[in-house]
Amino acid sequence: MKRIAILGSTGSIGRSTLSVVESYPHRFEVVTLAAGRNIDTVREQACRWRPRLVSVASEADAGRLRGQLKAEGLSRIEVVYGAEGNVRAATHSAVDFVVSAIVGVAGLEATYEAVKAGKSVGLANKECLVAAGELITAEARRRAKPLLPIDSEHNAVHQCLRGGRLEEVTRVWLTASGGPFLSVPKEKFASLTVEQALNHPTWKMGRRITIDSATLMNKGFEVIEACRLFNLPPQQVKVIVHPQSTIHSMVEFVDGSILAQFSVTDMRLPILYALTYPERIPSELRFEVSDLRHLDFCPPDMDKFPCLGLAYEAAQAGGAKPVALNAADEVAVAAFLDARIRFTDIAKVVEGVLAETPNRKFESIQEVLLADAAARQSASKLIEALRTNPPLPHSASVMSQGD
Amino acid sequence: MKRIAILGSTGSIGRSTLSVVESYPHRFEVVTLAAGRNIDTVREQACRWRPRLVSVASEADAGRLRGQLKAEGLSRIEVVYGAEGNVRAATHSAVDFVVSAIVGVAGLEATYEAVKAGKSVGLANKECLVAAGELITAEARRRAKPLLPIDSEHNAVHQCLRGGRLEEVTRVWLTASGGPFLSVPKEKFASLTVEQALNHPTWKMGRRITIDSATLMNKGFEVIEACRLFNLPPQQVKVIVHPQSTIHSMVEFVDGSILAQFSVTDMRLPILYALTYPERIPSELRFEVSDLRHLDFCPPDMDKFPCLGLAYEAAQAGGAKPVALNAADEVAVAAFLDARIRFTDIAKVVEGVLAETPNRKFESIQEVLLADAAARQSASKLIEALRTNPPLPHSASVMSQGD
């Protein structure tokens, strides 16, 4: 029986994790849940799973939830709140395995504390590796505790890496669907609309990650995650466009062998893998190999997708740069979604913030959070400047009016 | 330093093995060589590699080689011959690793004795697993010694299996190029010529294996080999057509994950893998992942390629049936190459011989060799009968005259 904490239980990964737990009632026990402001859902989850502790966002929400659980005869479930509450959920003495799925930098501290407390951790929060990857992975290595990736690409890499030792790896190849603008010429990028950018060809996801897929920034984040998770320099982490997203990633070994992983595109699979590693247990998540027909690949166009190059630069620099990359991108994507800047401005904002960010390393999550806030402020200023001093409409925008 | 025996040193796999040894002079030492009648080549190999013992086909050849080596100042190299010579080469006390690459059933005894002598064995001879697979793999399991496949498909499976335990495997997927007749309609099969059948789309190989690729019998043999090597029932070993032969094979696990292996199509890669397992060492055999463009797949047409179905039947029955399958096919392919029977008669001959072969298990290589001889005799009789009582030309042959 593996006793688990789910940080971010009401989000997509949190709910998928509970769906996996539901399928294997004799294998997993839900010990703690940490959620945000979705009190109705976390109350239902608490009633269904009877954890020992639940953490919510605010003191007021905690009080309300306590009352509701008491009415259900579940007053033995401890209800806590805030950042400290998340840490308590993550480090509870009865927990073996922590699923880190709180969105954004809010998940950093609890995840770091879980690793420091010697828990095995499944990582679904990208900031844990992009912004705090050096701190978190160093701690996990020091304790020889696994960090198991809960996303298709890194989970695929983790599986392929079983085919050899880390020192035997030449390159990791992350596959990218290429997003909705794979075959749109660069000249039209400045005039791309929010609706066009939200129309991802293969994955239905949240709005920010959908835009990050359209700019390939999401793949850039994954490059940084792979560098941290597998302790590889950026030049050993490559991206290849694969529109069908069937192969989730590949690992190339020194002898010239390449291993690739594929499966249905269902997050329950990497979750199950992380929860049961090094075992594999039967699931209903079947990819019908006999239905395979065509797989296509091409190299990414670094010129059309400058965010990918910016991510490589940040990966190489480490420390403050990836923090700034993530923070600036989040602010820039929000501005694009509000139609305050153009699609091509996202990369410009990120590039500007990266240039302003000093090269430095961090010793604590607190320092990471301060750098994150500073980068957000820089990004907001750059966005304002772009709005008050818009560049002259260039030929691409003019041309695209004829579409 | 790994000390190796090469059984079949003058053949294609033997020469590739020596080329691998040449690239890593500090890792491998050639201790024994076993060759057939190609005395010029084996003499050169002996002069270059200075093994302790060389085995050749006949007593006369051994005498001649002994004289030649003496003239070169290499009289310390012991020269032996025949089946007993091969066994001595395979079981030499200084040998750690045996490369089994003698073509045909001639390789069975020496390989079996190598396994019994506790050597690690790299298998490039298909008969070792098709005809004597039950004996040889049982012996290897008893001694917990590895049998490492030296062919693209099973080597790929071996690599993918590292991603989990054997009990966690749902299915093994062997990829097949589909051969030259993948898109030729079945109606034209009876009139296919030797030249057409020898024109394989992706691999340049010997004549028999090229025809076996055209009938998919070769893939059928590989199904049997996979069953024996990985101890799987035939229903867990599947075939998928993949014309580019880029992915060499795949393994599907119980959780729904699939691992696939690919690499350049160069036999030195599986040889190197087998020689260095569980390590991987750097090679120049690079597959350029960024050059990947299109991979195509389709299920095999069991109706067009009845040999594949016959192989599944033989795999299921085990014992004498796979021996008969291989022997009958070899005789039938020779008859087709001599234009004595039609392409479609190959399957008919094999099917007839299989039907005549009693279900029985074997306790020794001697019994396997007797069954092999009996099946060859049956096949020759069936071929004679087909020639003296040819079926009426059916519509397909008539139609094909218009091509």
Question: B253: closest CA among B326, B178, B173, B327?
Answer: B173
Report helix angle B12-23 to B268-276, nearest 10.
Answer: 60
Please state the rounded mean pLDDT for residues B244-273: 97
Which residues between 122 and 161 in chain A have a beta carbon less than 8 angstroms from any beta carbon of chain B?
159-160
Q: Where are the domains of chain A?
A: 2-150, 156-386
- Give the tens place of pLDDT for each residue, B89-118: 999 999 999 999 998 899 999 999 999 999
Task: Answer yes or no: are the C-beta atoms of A65 and A43 closer than 8 Å.
Answer: yes
CA pair distance A399, B11, nearest whole angstrom: 64
Cβ-Cβ contacts under 8 Å, B257 against chain A: 159, 261-263, 269, 273, 280
> How do residues A211-255 score in pLDDT, each as one tens digit?
999 999 999 999 999 999 999 999 999 999 999 999 999 999 999
Judged against a pLDDT cut of 50, whether residue B394 lies above it is answered with no
Cis peptide bond upstream of B299, omega within 30: no
Closest residue in B to A286 (Cα) is: B256
C-alpha–C-alpha distance, residues B106 and B238, integer Å: 29
**CB contact (8 A) between residue B255 and residue A247:** no
Please check whether residue B399 touches A, CB under 8 A. no
C-alpha A263: how far from its chain's center?
A: 19
Taking contacts as CB-CB distances below 8 angstroms, the residues of chain B near A279 are 168
Token pair of B75 as six digits: 């009289």
> What is the model's pLDDT at position A387?
82
- pLDDT attached to residue B388: 76
Whether the CB-CB separation of A349 and A335 falls below 8 Å is answered with: yes
Q: Which of A165, A282, A297 sits opposite B293 (nearest CB)?
A: A297
Per-residue confidence band for B129, with pLDDT thresholds at 50, 70 and 90: very high
pTM: 0.94
Locus of tokens 């701190």: A135
Say which amino acid occupies B286: R
Interface contact A296, partner B, CB < 8 A: yes
Q: Is the predicted ipTM greater than 0.90, yes or no? A: yes
Query: Which amino acid, one-letter code, is at A80?
Result: V
Chain A residue closest in CA terms to B286: A256
Of residues B319, B310, B393, the one with CA closest to residue B352: B310
What is the percent of chain B with per-residue pLDDT over 70, rounded to a whole number?
Answer: 95
Task: Quote the minimal CA–CA distance from B75 to chain A in Å.
Answer: 37
Phi and psi of B72, rounded to 5°? -90, 5
Class of domain A2-150: alpha beta
Q: Distances from the Cα of B179 to the Cαs of A120, A258, A402, in angstroms?
A: 49, 24, 50
Q: Do A254 and B293 touch (CB under 8 A)?
A: no
* Percentage above 90 pLDDT, chain B: 92
Shortest Cα distance, chain A CAs vs residue B171, angstroms: 10
For residue A274, give both structure tokens: 């992380």
Q: What is the mean pLDDT of chain B?
A: 94
Cα–Cα dist B125/B311, whole Å: 17
Across the interface, of A250, A255, A299, the residue whose CB is closest to B282 is A255
pLDDT for the residue B203 = 65
Mean pLDDT of B267-286: 97
Q: CA-CA distance, B284 to A254, in Å (whole number)? A: 9
Chain A residue with CA closest to B172: the answer is A289
Query: What residues in chain A have per-residue pLDDT under 50?
Result: 392-403
A&B contacts, CB < 8 Å = 148
pLDDT in tens, A159-180: 999 999 999 999 999 999 999 9
Chain B, 276-295: which have a CB under 8 Å from a chain A CB? Answer: 276, 279-287, 289-290, 292-295
CATH topology of domain A156-386: Rna Polymerase Sigma Factor; Chain: A (1.10.1740)
